[in-house]
């Protein structure tokens, strides 16, 4: 653990800066909890969701667990205030919330002294050594839900085997996406690994009265709308360039550009303007201006399903650069044709399956992206591809029920 302690020490100034940014920017951020100063809390299950993405992944799981256990209590922790905001939006009054303490021994132990809970479940593979050790010392059962480990990440863990192998042995069970993930966890020292699938498949298209309103606002004459979802630095320029080329042949086309991280909202908005596009922001909340825009910047949290719903085609970003891509399940559930870039190693199995079944297509350049967008001008082709995406997603459902059974054991 000496290497981890050294890395944590080196990272402390950067962590402190992030805490300060959160404190200055978000009224709902409680610094004291991050330092381990929790109010006493008793729960039957502690579920950790790092940020918005993990909260979204766990939404259906939380809902089902609360339904199945109306007399039990649930604690949800997040790292970010945007994650906390989503917890409060959907489950205010139904769950308890705390901010995860920093993974310094003193912070973790201070927090856990205030906690009475038999089990900890962590969404995705977020493994904090001091937290896991402290939870084990309290006799808690630890399970990692939606556990995934890409080949690239597994190789990185292997390089630091003296740290990673004891770390992988701490959780009582990993509930893995797929067999390939399970084998990687086992090779790194995990004790008990079960293949249960991905709970993100077990979402349903929500009934949302805002969708037809938004759709009418952005495309009153049924213009072609496509989305670049969860973009990273280095990608936005490519999507804007592709949209500029698309407009030469489809003059009324609309692009919804949704940056992955809130701190980039303003920069992407300005970039779109600098590129000469008529650009509007979701946060301006002026729907009457959307129809006049070429680009809508999706600068909001927790509305991605709504953005997908009003689009004809979904590009799942993080894949035009070596970021590894994001999860394509949400647009697939909404029967949207999916486009991805060359780099999808974060969700390799899911993406390859979707491509194999005809619900997604891979592009490797702006030119190829434009070609696919032009092909998907054909309504019948869009609908056929979208239906294949939905069929693929439905075929992979069932993980939620399996995860709930493990949480009850």
| Ranges of each domain in the chain | 28-202+398-407, 210-395
pLDDT value of residue 2: 66
Angle between helices 151-159 and 179-187 (to 10 degrees): 0
pLDDT < 70 positions in the chain = 1-2, 409
The DSSP element (H or E) to which 123 belongs, if any, is strand 119-123
User: What DSSP state is assigned to residue 285?
Assistant: -
- Looking only at the bridges linking them, the beta strands covering 313-316 and 225-231 are parallel
Residue 296 near residue 273, CB atoms below 8 Å? no
pLDDT value of residue 1: 65
User: What DSSP state is assigned to residue 282?
Assistant: G
Class of the CATH-defined domain 28-202+398-407: alpha beta
The residues that are catalytic are 54
Asked, colleague to colleague, whether 28-202+398-407 and 210-395 share their fold, the answer is yes
d(CA 60, CA 305): 14
pLDDT value of residue 328: 96
Structure tokens at 388: 């294949």
Q: E strands of 206-364, at which residues?
A: 225-231, 254-259, 279-281, 295-297, 313-316, 338-340, 360-362
Please give the CATH number for the structural domain made up of 210-395: 3.40.50.2000
Candidates 99, 110, 126, 102; CA nearest to 14 is 102
pLDDT value of residue 6: 77
- Looking only at the bridges linking them, the beta strands covering 338-340 and 313-316 are parallel
């Amino acid at each position: 653990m000496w290497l981890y302690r050294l890395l944590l020490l080196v990272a402390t100034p950067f962590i402190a800066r992030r805490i300060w940014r959160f404190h200055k920017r978000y009224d709902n951020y409680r610094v004291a909890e991050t330092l381990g100063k929790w109010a006493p809390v008793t729960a039957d299950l502690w579920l950790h969701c790092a940020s918005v993405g993990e909260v979204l992944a766990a939404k259906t799981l939380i809902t089902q667990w609360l339904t199945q256990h109306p007399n039990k209590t649930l604690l949800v922790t997040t790292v970010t205030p945007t994650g906390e905001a989503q917890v409060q939006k959907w489950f205010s009054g139904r769950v308890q919330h705390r901010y995860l303490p920093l993974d310094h021994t003193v912070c973790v132990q201070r927090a856990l002294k205030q906690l009475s809970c038999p089990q900890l479940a962590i969404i995705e593979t977020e493994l904090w050594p001091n937290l896991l050790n402290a939870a084990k010392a309290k006799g808690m059962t630890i399970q990692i839900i939606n556990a995934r480990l890409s080949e690239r990440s597994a190789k990185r863990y292997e390089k630091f085997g003296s740290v990673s192998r004891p770390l992988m042995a701490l959780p009582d069970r990993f509930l893995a996406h797929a067999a390939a993930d399970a084998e990687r966890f086992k090779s790194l020292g995990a004790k008990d690994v079960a293949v249960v699938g991905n709970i993100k498949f077990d979402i349903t298209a929500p009934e949302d009265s805002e969708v037809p309103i938004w759709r009418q606002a952005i495309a009153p004459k049924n213009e072609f709308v496509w989305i670049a979802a969860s973009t990273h630095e280095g990608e936005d320029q490519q999507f804007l360039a592709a949209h500029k080329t698309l407009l030469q042949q489809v003059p009324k086309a609309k692009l919804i550009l949704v940056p992955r991280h809130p701190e980039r909202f303003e920069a992407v908005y300005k970039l779109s303007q600098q590129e000469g596009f008529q650009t509007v922001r979701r946060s301006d909340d002026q729907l009457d201006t959307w129809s006049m825009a070429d680009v809508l910047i999706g600068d909001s949290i927790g509305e991605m399903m709504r953005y997908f719903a009003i689009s004809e085609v979904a590009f799942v970003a993080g894949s035009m650069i070596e970021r590894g891509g994001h999860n394509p399940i949400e647009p697939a559930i909404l029967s949207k044709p999916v486009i991805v870039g060359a780099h999808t190693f974060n969700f390799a199995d899911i993406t390859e399956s979707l491509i194999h079944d005809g619900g997604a297509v891979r592009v490797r350049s702006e030119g190829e992206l434009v070609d696919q967008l032009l092909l998907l001008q054909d309504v019948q082709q869009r609908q056929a591809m979208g239906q294949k995406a939905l069929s693929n997603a439905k075929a992979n459902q069932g993980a939620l029920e399996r995860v709930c059974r493990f949480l009850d054991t």
